[in-house]
Amino acid sequence: MGNFGIVLLAALAFLGSSRADLVLNFYAKSCPKAEEIVLDFVKLHIPNAPSLAAALTRMHFHDCFVRGCDASILLNSTTASGNQTEKAAAPNLTIRGFDFIDRVKSLRRGLFQSDAALTTSSTTKAYITQFLKGSLKDFYAEFALAMEKMGRVEVKTDR
């Protein structure tokens, strides 16, 4: 079984043990190309870097196995906050695959179209520019309000 098969088997085993009732094609309506984009990118790059399969699996389980799954392992440290993120913490310095994730994000399509639209859409660009010119205090206040709203959103399942 090739490296891709091992990653697929590990992912299926993890999904099979999940209790969140997630299903394949869950985002078929909201993001129809999500699975295709990820699968194509993985198929293209795993043959060139076979050890990447294990690195991506480790990254996934590190962040999601403990039911956190907040993607905090992907956050870069910033000099503005002075806080060290999980990504930069000593135990995580051996985790690989971040460059792979960054390349997928740089495509600015499919899964990440909504993120890219924040800075390219005429509707949101002015709002983002306002935050860039303002203080972090203003941003954090708005962010806190947004998190409160998001906290009232139910967990998405296939039900």
Give the residue-averaged pLDDT of 116-124.
Answer: 73
**68 annotated as a binding-site residue:** yes
d(CA 127, CA 48): 41
Residue 110 token pair: 């499919």
- The count of domains in the chain is 1
- Rounded to whole angstroms, how far apart are CA atoms 69 and 22? 14
pLDDT band at 86 (very low <50, low <70, confident <90, very high): low
Q: Is 63 annotated as a binding residue?
A: yes
The answer on whether 7 is annotated among ligand-binding residues is no
Quick: pLDDT tens for 16-60: 554 555 567 877 887 788 778 778 877 887 788 777 777 766 656
Q: Is the pTM for the entire model greater than 0.85? A: no
Residue 75 is assigned to a structural domain of this protein: yes
Other beta carbons less than 10 A from residue 96's beta carbon = 15
103 part of a folded domain: yes
121 within a domain of the structure (yes/no): no
In-domain check, residue 159:
no
Q: How far apart are the C-alpha atoms of 14 and 34, rounded to whole Å? A: 19
Domain that holds residue 55: 3-113
In this predicted model, which residue has the larger pLDDT, 48 or 155? 48
Instruction: Say if 135 falls within a structural domain.
Output: no
pLDDT single digits (tens) 128-151: 777 778 777 887 788 788 878 777
Phi, psi (degrees; rounded to nearest 5) at 108: 50, 50
Q: How far apart are CA 116 and CA 126, in angstroms?
A: 14
For position 29, which CATH number holds? Answer: 1.10.520.10
Residues with a catalytic annotation lie at 62
More confident residue, 19 or 117: 117
